[in-house]
Amino acid sequence: MRGKVTVLPAEDGKPLGEVLRRRGYSRRLICRLKQIPLGMSRRGELIRTVDTVSAGDEIVIADTGSSDISASPELCAPVLYEDSEVIVFDKPADMPVHPSIKHQDDTLANLFAARCPGTTFRPVNRLDSRTSGCVITARSQFAASALQGRFGKRYLAVCCGDPGESGEINAPIARERDSIILRCVREDGKQAVTRFRAVARSPLYTLCEVFPLTGRTHQIRVHFAHIGCPLAGDSMYGGDMSDIGRQALHCAEVSFLSPDSGESLSVRAPLPADMRSLLELAGIGCGELTDFA
């Protein structure tokens, strides 16, 4: 994602970090840039996010791609679809998308580096480490730009209790105070909207199709907890851990226009074994989910 940010007159005198966030750079990406030599530079010299910038400054943003990500060919994530511009992986629930201090070589990025050496890792959608399913990965900056904000997602989730036949959860999400990871519903949060439809239920659980209309961190998990039906296995937000060891959430389908052919595509990921076992334990049949069997 190498590029330049030209500081506008309205941004004169502001800290670089504030400017980048206003331009749409996520905190995750900014943190990643801090770890790269000359990740952000001005006139060839390092600039920090706390340094102020002046109108007309050109801030050079380094490539944060796979060039410095180690390849791990032993990792496995099934490929659901592939063309010259896109790969859609079926990410397992025990695989993070990005490397971190605790995960240096066991992520989808490491697998991608082995499969596509020399190609920048550009995931178009991101899943929590313990959420399984479809991850769209662009093979070029062109494909990443073409797909950004132009794809649909359908999740399958098993929640505790009964949320009703269908509904829309419209509740703003904010970072939990004093926590880097936790999120909560709060009036000063960012708008977040999730639609759902119940597919099948038992006395303990309900299987739902879920359609997030926005993309906030932990959105589905926070919203279902907010209405009193946390996801099964989601210890972070109050879900029952009795029958599954991680949040019962799976990105079952993504839809997009192929940057390669212009064709409208829908790519589906089969329901993983642990969620199938959970449904069987609960006595919920998968008859209505033949596309995801």
Does the annotation count 128 as an active-site position? yes
Query: Which residue among 57, 90, 128, 234 is the active-site one?
Result: 128
Number of domains the chain is built from: 1
- Write down the pTM of the prediction: 0.76
Specify the CATH number for the domain of residue 46. 3.10.290
Does residue 19 lie within any of the structural domains? yes
**CB burial class (10 A; 0-12, 13-18, 19+) of residue 182?**
middle
pLDDT in tens, 50-78: 999 999 999 988 765 545 688 999 999 99
- The phi and psi torsions of 185 (rounded to 5 degrees) equal -85, 125
pLDDT in tens, 98-122: 988 788 899 999 999 999 988 889 9
Does residue 26 lie within any of the structural domains? yes
Here the tokens at position 22 are 């206003």
pLDDT in tens, 210-236: 999 999 999 999 999 999 999 999 999
Q: Which domain holds residue 50?
A: 3-61
**Mean confidence (pLDDT) of the chain:** 90
Does residue 290 lie within any of the structural domains? no
Does residue 117 lie within any of the structural domains? no
Here the tokens at position 233 are 């296995």
Label residue 2 by pLDDT band (50, 70, 90): low
pLDDT of residue 3: 67
Does residue 270 lie within any of the structural domains? no
Does residue 166 lie within any of the structural domains? no
Does residue 121 lie within any of the structural domains? no
Residue 95 CA: distances (Å) to CA of 43, 67, 128, 129, 132: 39, 20, 9, 6, 8
